[in-house]
Amino acid sequence: MNYEVLKQFQLDSPAVSSDRYGCGHINETYLVVTESGRRYILQKISNRAFPDVAGLQENISAVTRHLHTKISNPYGALTLIPTLDGLDYYHAGENSDWRVYDFIEGSLCLQAPETPEDFYQSAIAFGTFQQQLEDFPAETLHETIKNFHNTPDRFRIFKEVLAKDVMGRAKDVQPEIDFVLAHEEVGKKLTAMLAAGELPLRVTHNDTKLNNVMLCEKTRTPLCVIDLDTTMPGLSAYDFGDSIRFGAATAAEDEKDLSKMTINLDLFRIFTRGFLKACPGLTENERKVLPLGALTMTLECGTRFLTDYLDGDHYFGIHRPEHNLDRCRTQFKLVSEMEAKWDEMAKIVEEESK
Ligand code: ADP
Ligand code: GN1
Ligand code: MG
């Protein structure tokens, strides 16, 4: 299948290999090598996550073109490879949409920071990304996943799925269900502030996991921000928060031993420093809600994992039966740890804002 699809793209020479690649939860990603030795990334776009592939690809095409006008390094932003028809994705049939990117050579993709400096550099990468899109016409972007970080709406969907309980799993996860219900109020704060005009809407990435940034192999400084599927209007707190959720955590997202999971405040501080440096235009309110962004993104992500577990694991790719439940548990443990260290987090943001 892959080779038939690859023939539809303007590669430099025929493909000789195409192997599963990376640790993403959403798209099917393949590393492609051609006869000349050149490398590409082939992705089957998840139709489950993204019903409007045409709109999604229009966003990515416009955003990457905009980014390329701001930089000189060709690997500083993603580059879509056109199809033989000059389109930016190939529709092979129902639920079968594919795209190809140039492989970002000379880069590193980390699942966890190896040094605090790596995490600092990822803050610079995502902060700069947001700055570079400051003059992008936000109104032209399609909302690729409706209500993506609308946390109250995530609670609504959770309750709907819980009421159906199609897999009969609810009886075994009462503590996790109670955790969601006990956190509904705090989870609604950011969207309430947005609605009240207390926080500005910006063009944000919305999926700022550490493994969505490529660092330069040699200098370990930011090279390229990838995974642009969810780039659309959002809050700066979402981008800050999702990075903290993943990168300042002391355990992997699917760790089973919850005693290993807490928030590393040194990493929290260093990321805050980098993000504020790269985004000097944040308003006072935006800075103040950064800890709330971290808590909200972690709570929301855990709720989404639990929802998918109850629903039968259709959204996130899983590698074992209780994978989504394990993921949910790490997120809720991390929320509790953030609550325990709340005052310290607020103090760090205050100190780094000076
Ligand atoms: P997902 O939405 O499933 O997370 P990503 O677009 O993040 O998919 O891709 C998954 C992984 O593939 C990334 O974490 C990265 O390791 C690798 N990857 C994606 N695009 C490129 C690229 N252009 N060059 C090199 N590696 C890439
Ligand atoms: C997904 O695509 P990936 O693996 O970078 C998800 C994020 C979640 C994350 C949890 C489009 O990110 O929202 O926070 O998994 N992306 C989408 O690891 O739903
Ligand atoms: Mg990704």
5: tokens are 């699809």
The answer to whether the CB of 25 is under 6 A from ligand 2 is yes
Please give the model's pTM, rounded to 2 decimal places.
0.96
In the chain, where does the domain assigned CATH 3.90.1200.10 lie? 116-352
Residues in contact with 5: Cβ distance below 8 Å, sequence separation at least 6, in sequence order: 42, 90, 92, 98
CATH architecture of 2-105: 2-Layer Sandwich (3.30)
Q: Report the top-level CATH class of 116-352.
A: alpha beta
CB 25 within 8 A of CB 316: yes
How many angstroms separate the CA atoms of 341 and 346, rounded? 9
How much of the chain, in percent, has pLDDT values that exceed 70?
A: 100
pLDDT at 205: 97
| pLDDT at position 121 over 90 | yes
**Ligand 1 atom, smallest distance to 102 CA:** 23
Looking at residue 45, what is its pLDDT? 97
Do residues 101 and 79 lie in contact, with contact meaning Cβ atoms separated by under 8 Å? yes
Q: Is the CB of 78 under 6 A from ligand 1?
A: yes
Chain region(s) in the chain for CATH 3.30.200.20: 2-105
Q: Which three-class secondary structure string do you get for 254-321? A: CCCCHHHCCECHHHHHHHHHHHHHHCCCCCHHHHHCHHHHHHHHHHHHHHHHHHHHHHCCCCCCCCCC
Relative to the alpha carbon of 252, which ligand is closest?
A: 2
pLDDT at 349 over 90: yes
Give the atom of ligand 1 at the shortest distance from the alpha carbon of 27: 3
Q: What is the pLDDT of residue 329?
A: 98
Share of the chain above pLDDT 90, in %: 97
